Structure 1
Amino acid sequence: MQLDTVVVGHATVDVNVLPHGVIENVLGGAPTYAGFALASLGREVGIVSKIGQDFPDYFPPLFSKFGLNTEGILVTRGGTTKFENTYTEKGEREQVCEEVADPIVPGDIPQAYLNSRSFYFSPVMDEVSPKTLSRISDEENVAMIDPQGLFRRIEDSGEIRLEVPKNFEDYLSQVEIVKIGKDEFRAFGRSEEEVLESLSGMGPDVAILTLGEDGCKVFSDGKVTNIKSLSVEAKDLTGAGDVFGASFLSNYLETGDPTDSARFATAAAGLKIEYKGPTGFPSKEEVKEML
């Protein structure tokens, strides 16, 4: 069976410190938020991830319960990637990384996944290399990347600082779509339009900048389109970027329209953040009703 999308990146176990309370032992990472979002939209999804033997036993069955193919989840001797995420009332985030799982190498992608219609790469801590992307290089599929984890560097304190990766073009030359958030945008020190044009110039057909409550900007065919966000009561912003990215890719597979897909993704992410933790992922019908 051909999968619609394969999600590549570390599953994490997080502590989320929110303005209204603390949530511990939260399942996170792209396999969780992008994987569950895609499944809720009716997609057939596979996961590629590395986890440690410390990964809680009650988490893996959740992936199967959502209908995700878990052939690409590998258990290693190392630990599972762990973050402490602290959010302000305005959605600003400070991160501390407590542990990083082993990197994902080309051979970790199962042979059965290679004919997937699309791939969504979303590393959280530099666990994916350009060689891993080249494993799926194929004109028949669509590749999208959220490079958040490529920007992250761990200080001695465990705190995260962001910088533009020196080999960024080696990644972007292999994908059709790139999406960055406002944290990664600040690392460039340039205007929004300049950054989007620069990203597109490295290879992608579509470059996206998400701006939280200010919506997003989409660069395609030489022009920038502004998309407004939904007015919602945000209860947990964790994973919103991956929900946006996964929802964009899901709609893009159907329409090939970046602007329409960005509107769809903005609505999906807005509906999701009304719920805490990895719950409340909207269906395709719910997103279209909101639109």
Structure 2
Amino acid sequence: MRYTLFVQPVDYLVIGHVTQDLSPAGPVLGGTAAYAALTARAMGLRVGVVTACHPETDLSPLSEVQVLAWPADYTTTFENLSLPEGRVQYLHRVAAPLQLNMIPEAWRKAPIVHLAPVAQEVDPKLVRAFPDSFVGLTPQGWLRGWDAQGRVHFTEWPEARYVLEAANAAVLSVEDVGGNEAIIEEMLASIRVLVVTEGAAGARLYWNGDLRYFRPPAVQEVDATGAGDVFAAAFFIRLHQTRDPWEAARYATQLAAISVTRPGLAGVPTAAEAREKLVEIIP
């Protein structure tokens, strides 16, 4: 495990568990925190990650970002199975929860803070701990429950209004709410900017009562894992930079499309790809 002893200021702080995702080739590093951090780094930002994992977890893919990894008995571990009824996800282990006292003072003024729970691990009160920051949410981990066998299912999010009202923007997938459009409608009453990703169909963006759809370019999909996380990081960064949700969504859609063409963390866009897509969408 890599532990950052002397933290430096960051532009983009992401808080959430890195994960071990079980695959036929063995466990691989994953989690929104990993995908979002690497996307922000590719976009030229100084990045910090606050997470918790087992000390032997290989964090070398995150060598270009500052990682404060609190030691835990386990690393949060997911397994995705393709069954006749569709994809089934299992949660086998969960690391320690993440709270405000685990965040260095030097990072509490980060311009962009991304709360990125994957398994109920991020304290909802953190949304109100960064009054001077742009706070973006990917709330999928607050919408996940699991049974005694670890099978993941949708669960109610009782803190939704409290969290959404204090955030600047949120990105979630239609799968995160089990396809329930009524839940999305309820969320819209509490937040001004909400993106709902729809896999290969792209994303829809709600902003101040308006709705627009963003369709990705045609690509050969290899692995869609992490595409929503790449989208979210790119969207939050460009929204913070431009204050234009439409432009941010166009850019994020392009980067997310790149991510599905390569497996795992290799799908995170490179710095050159991030610059290229930025040039393409700006007149």
TM-score exceeds 0.5: yes
Cα drift, residue 289 of structure 1: 5.5
Distance 1:233 1:290 in 2: 20
Paired residue for 1:19?
A: none
1:3/1:45 contact within 8 Å kept: yes
- Alignment of 1:256 onto 2:253: no
**SS state of the match for residue 106, structure 2?**
helix
**Aligned partner (choices 209, 214, 226) of residue 196 of structure 2:** 209
Counterpart of 1:247? 234
- Contact 1:196 1:208 (8 Å CA) reproduced: no
For 1:113, the equivalent position in structure 2 comes to 107
Judging changes above 3 Å, is the alpha-carbon distance between structure 1 residues 154 and 264 closer, same or farther for their aligned structure 2 residues? same
* Cα distance in 2 for residues equivalent to 1:152 and 1:197: 19
In the TM superposition, what is the alpha-carbon distance from 1:133 to its structure 2 partner? 2.5
Q: Which amino acid aligns with 1:198?
A: E
SS state of the match for residue 120, structure 1? Answer: strand
2:183 aligned with 1:183, yes or no?
A: no
- d(CA) in 1 for partners of 2:60 and 2:178? 38
Give distance in 1, aligned partners of 2:51 and 2:236. 19
**Residue ranges of structure 2 left out of the alignment (5+ in a row):** 1-7
State the alpha-carbon separation in 1 of the partners of residues 161 and 210 from structure 2: 21
Give deviations 1:236-278, integer Å, cap 9, x for gaps.
Answer: 1111111110011121122111111111111101101100111
Deviation at 1:54, TM superposition (A): 4.2
Match of residue 234 from structure 1:
221
- Letter paired with 1:222: G
- CA distance in 2 between counterparts of 1:141 and 1:128 reads 17
Give the AA of the match of 1:68.
V
CA contact (8 A) 1:212 1:229 kept: no
Q: Determine the C-alpha separation between the residues in 2 that align with 1:225 and 1:272.
A: 22
Distance across 1 between alignment mates of 2:116 and 2:87: 18
Q: What is the match of residue 218 of structure 1?
A: 205
Q: Which residue of 2 aligns with 1:265?
A: 252
In structure 2, the CA distance between the partners of 1:158 and 1:185, relative to structure 1 (3 Å rule), is closer
**Equivalent pair of 2:154/2:177 in contact (CA under 8 Å):** no
Instruction: Please report the TM-score for the alignment, with normalisation by the length of structure 1.
Output: 0.87
Contact 2:160 / 2:187 at 8 angstroms: preserved in 1?
no
Shift of residue 132 of structure 1?
A: 2.5
RMSD: 1.9
Find 1:165's aligned residue among 157, 161, 164. 157
Report the alpha carbon displacement of residue 177 of structure 1 after superposing the two structures with TM.
Answer: 0.4
Are the structure 2 counterparts of residues 23 and 263 from structure 1 closer, same or farther at C-alpha, using a change threshold of 3 Å?
Answer: farther
Map of 1:63 onto structure 2: 62
Residues 140-155 of structure 1 aligned to structure 2 (within 5 Å): 140-155=132-147
Give the alignment partner of residue 7 of structure 1, picking from 5, 14, 26: 14
Give SS of 2:27's match: strand
How far off is 1:113 after superposition?
0.3
Structure 1: where are the runs of 5+ without partners? 17-21
Alpha carbons of 1:113 and 1:50: their partners in 2 closer, same or farther (altered >3 Å)?
same
How far apart, CA to CA, are the structure 1 residues paired with 2:83 and 2:25? Answer: 15
Change (3 A) 1:237 1:280: closer
Q: 1:199 aligns with which of 187, 197, 216?
A: 187
The 2-side partners of 1:141 and 1:93 are apart by 36
Corresponding residue SS for 2:265: coil
State the Cα distance separating 1:112 from its structure 2 match. Answer: 0.6
Q: Distance in 1 between matches of 2:83 and 2:242?
A: 36
The answer to whether the 8 Å contact 1:185/1:209 transfers is no
**Contact conserved, 1:106 with 1:133, CA < 8 A, in 2?**
no
Structure 2 distance, partners of 1:122, 1:79, is: 18
Q: Take 1:114 and 1:254, find their aligned partners in 2: how far apart are those partners?
A: 19
Counterparts of 2:46 and 2:55, CA distance in 1: 27
After TM superposition, the runs of 4+ consecutive aligned structure 1 residues lying more than 6 A away are none
The corresponding residue for 1:124 is: 118
Note closer, same or farther for the CA distance 1:69–1:54 as it changes in structure 2 (3 Å cut): closer
Identity of aligned pairs, percent?
Answer: 26
Q: How many residues align?
A: 270
> What secondary structure sits across from 1:278 in the alignment?
helix
Q: Distance in 1 between matches of 2:165 and 2:55?
A: 35
Q: Indicate whether 1:286 and 2:282 are aligned.
A: no
TM-score scaled by structure 2?
A: 0.89
